[in-house]
């Protein structure tokens, strides 16, 4: 999962980001300092916070040969250990750049939301996203990933990605 541009210091929040190659940045900035200037990563606000990543399928389409997995580093806002929260990760097949023209193709196995523990540091999470096997995103469509924090979460959730220390990713098959 990548940020919008090479990372150097705090960056402005962007709703849609590219799914891309492995990260090369070594420092995790604050991706939305207007919401949370004191903590690194992306702070997703309870009830309204959503982040979208996407990539365009190549000319032959993009086949997901089996269940997809999402690896994402998380913590509660301020690295709070007194609350835990939840995220809703979903994969989409989109005819236009997400979030436009999207059809959901997966949700977490076992439910719509996944738990986020209250920890004093970043915690690596690995969640299975159920995908009809195999699933092909047609040529010129987009594979989209959204991660949102539902109103039922215990608080705001921070996510870390796009650095060598926090190599978040979507893997299929």
The conformation of residue 77, written as its DSSP 8-state character, comes to G
Look at residue 112 in the predicted model and tell me its pLDDT. Answer: 63
What's the number of domains the chain is made of? 1
The domain that holds 130 is classified in CATH as 2.60.120.260
Look at residue 18 in the predicted model and tell me its pLDDT. Answer: 63
Q: How confident is the model over 98-146, as pLDDT tens digits?
A: 888 999 988 776 656 777 888 899 999 888 887 767 889 999 999 999 9
CA distances from 141 to 32, 58, 159 (A): 28, 9, 26
Is position 6 within any domain? no
Is position 31 within any domain? yes
**With 60 as the cut, is the pLDDT of residue 3 above it?**
no
Is position 100 within any domain? yes
* Mean pLDDT, residues 142-160: 92
Contact assessment for residue 29 and residue 11, using Cβ atoms and an 8 Å cutoff: yes
Is position 77 within any domain? yes
Containing structural domain, residue 24 = 17-172
């Amino acid at each position: 999962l990548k940020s919008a541009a090479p990372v150097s210091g705090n960056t402005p929040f962007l709703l849609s980001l590219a799914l891309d190659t492995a990260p090369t940045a070594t420092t995790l900035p604050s991706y939305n300092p207007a919401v949370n200037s004191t903590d690194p990563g992306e702070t997703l606000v309870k009830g309204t916070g959503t982040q979208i990543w996407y990539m365009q399928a190549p000319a032959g389409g993009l086949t997901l040969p089996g269940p997809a997995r999402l690896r994402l580093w998380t913590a509660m806002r301020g690295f709070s250990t007194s609350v835990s929260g939840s995220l809703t990760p979903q994969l989409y097949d989109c005819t236009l750049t997400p979030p436009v023209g999207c059809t959901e193709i997966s949700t977490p196995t076992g439910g719509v939301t996944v738990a986020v523990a209250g920890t004093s540091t970043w915690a690596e999470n690995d969640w299975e996203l159920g995908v009809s096997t195999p699933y092909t995103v047609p040529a010129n469509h987009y594979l989209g990933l959204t991660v949102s924090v539902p109103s039922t979460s215990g608080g705001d959730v921070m996510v870390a990605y796009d650095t060598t220390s926090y190599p978040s990713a979507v893997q299929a098959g």
